[in-house]
Copies of this chain bind each other. A is one copy, B any other.
Amino acid sequence: MATDLEIARATPLRPIAEIAARAGIPDAALIPYGRYKAKIDLDFVRAAEARPEGALVLVTGINPTAAGEGKTTTTIGLGDALNALGTRAMICLRAPSLGPCFGTKGGATGGGRAQVAPMEEINLHFTGDFHAVTSANNLLAAMVDNHLHWGNGLGLDPRRVGWRRAMDMNDRSLRNTVVGLGGAAHGVPREDGFDITAASEVMAILCLARDLADLQARLGRIIVGERRDGSAVTARDLKADGAMAALLRDALAPNLVQTLEGSPALVHGGPFANIAHGCNSVIATRLGLRLAEVVVTEAGFGADLGAEKFLHIKCRAAGLAPAACVIVATVRALKLHGGAAKAELAREDLGALARGMANLARHVENMGKFGLPVIVALNRFTSDTEAEIAAVRAAMARLGVEAVLCTHWADGAAGARDLARAVQAAIAARTARFTPLYPEAMPLAGKLRTIAREIYRAAEVQIPPPVAARLARWEEQGFGRLPVCVAKTQFSFSADPGLLGAPEGHVLPVREVRLSAGAGFVVAICGDIMTMPGLPKHPAAERIGLDAAGRIVGLF
Contact = CB atoms under 8 A, between A and B. Distances in A.
Contact of A146 (B120, B539, B544, B552): B539
Nearest to A130: B131
A181 B178 contact: yes
A514 B210 CA distance: 48
Contacts of A228: none
A250 interface: yes
B170 A142 contact: yes
A13 interface: no
A41 B242 CA distance: 35
B249 A546 contact: yes
A320 interface: no
A250 B177 contact: no
A186 interface: yes
A240 interface: yes
Nearest to A537: B150
Nearest to A124: B247
Given A541-B240, A541-B243, A173 B150 contact: no
Contacts of A188: 173
A128 B251 CA distance: 12
Nearest to A191: B181
Taking residues whose C-beta sits less than 8 angstroms from the other chain, chain A's interface range is: 35 or more
A149 interface: yes
Given A31-B35, A246-B552, A239 B173 contact: no
A216 B164 CA distance: 33
A26 interface: no
A246 B555 contact: yes
A181 to B, nearest CB: 4
16 contacts: A32-B35, A33-B33, A124-B247, A139-B541, A143-B541, A149-B534, A173-B186, A175-B181, A176-B180, A176-B186, A177-B177, A178-B181, A239-B541, A239-B543, A242-B543, A243-B554
Interface of A: 31-35, 42, 98, 102, 120-121, 124-125, 128, 131-132, 134-135, 138-139, 141-143, 145-146, 149-151, 167-182, 185-188, 192, 212, 216, 239-243, 245-247, 249-250, 534-535, 537, 539, 541-546, 550, 552, 554-555
